[in-house]
Amino acid sequence: MRKVLIASLLAFVLFALTGCLGPKPQIQDVTSTPPPANTDQPFRVEAILNNIGPGGGDVEVEVQLTNKQTGEIIIKDSKDVDLQKDDKQHVVFNLDIPEAARSLNPNDIDVSVDAHYPIE
């Protein structure tokens, strides 16, 4: 009887812990489309986000454009995404680049995308 009780308790604890665990976001792919030079059109960044974790929840997706020449951050943005178990989300950012950076060569812009849980 004691073994059955311990096994049942252990099964319950494992079940409860699995239910409390949230998503584990993974960036599968990132595509960036810079605007034509010297225009006020947005810099488009698209990310495919997968949940490879055991649960679901809100995930923060962050994008940052950096000038490769100077290391200066041009712009950064973030979005909260509801990512459920085994989910895949397509996240799109349309970033308005500051006027001073509009003349940069797209090859001089580093695009980084990160996703994390829990939201900080």
Q: What is the pLDDT of residue 37?
A: 79
State what percent of residues in the chain have pLDDT above 70: 83
Q: What is the pLDDT of residues 20-45, one digit of tens each?
A: 589 999 999 999 999 987 788 999 99
Residues in the chain: 120
Burial class of residue 64 (count of CB atoms within 10 Å of its CB; 0-12, 13-18, 19+): middle
pLDDT of res. 19:
45
43-72: pLDDT as tens digits = 999 999 999 999 999 999 999 999 999 999
d(CA 12, CA 120): 30
pLDDT of residue 21: 87
The domains of the chain, with CATH numbers, are: 22-116 (2.60.40.10)
